[in-house]
Amino acid sequence: MNNAAVFVVRRCYSCRCERHSYHHNRSSVVPRKKSNDDNNNNNGIFIRNFDDKRAMHIKSAGDGIDGVSGEEDKVVVRFWHHFGSSKKCAEKRASSSSSSSSSSLFRNPSELEARVRRLHRYLGHNVDVPMTVANVPEILELDAEVVCKRLMFLFKVIPSFNGSKVSKNATLLTLEREEVERRVNAVVELEKKKWVGGGVDAEYAKECAKERMMRNPSVLLLDSVTAQCNAEEKLVQHR
């Protein structure tokens, strides 16, 4: 074997650049300097690794609720989840698409989000707004102040009615104050009719009506209550 240097090229596993080892006459061989291409490759690897690490911390809206940071943004994401899976919302979209009006609310995502955000500012501390408006999308057609006033009145006339019950009885928010009063009185009158043979205790009937509404607030929407309201209205008109 001659005295010539043996030049061995190996790959560095850390940065993938070439490194050299020499045998025999190492002093006669000058190691190859790194070229600009090597530096560019290394920089590209560094930038790519940095971008990968940064991507692990950056979230997008496609990640759902975890992809947004603001409280209102999370409410909007939840709203779209419920809105997309709600049969009533699908019917609203279908009816609005067949409508000749070009300014339909349910074909305007920006306006829908704006109304959800406004409702959340008024009711968000007590009410699950995304679930409520998905159950009864007609609420989105009302002004947030009107909805808030109607909710406060429901808190007043229905014992133990709180925010956790709103989403399950969201239809009550579509009723005007006068209509709610009529239906509450109708429930009381129906309780009085249970006293067969006279001797009606009006106060006890009111307490029974309150207890009934407390157990199930949707009793105000029963057909029997509606029929009682209609009967009273006809009686007033007849007088």
Long-range CB pairs of 140-144 (<8 Å, 24+ gap) are 140/105, 140/106, 140/112, 140/115, 140/116, 141/105, 142/173, 142/174, 144/115, 144/118, 144/119
pLDDT value at residue 13: 44
Average pLDDT, the chain: 76
pLDDT value at residue 32: 53
| Arithmetic mean of pLDDT, 207-224 | 90
Question: 0.85 cut: is pTM over it?
Answer: no
pLDDT band at 56 (very low <50, low <70, confident <90, very high): very low
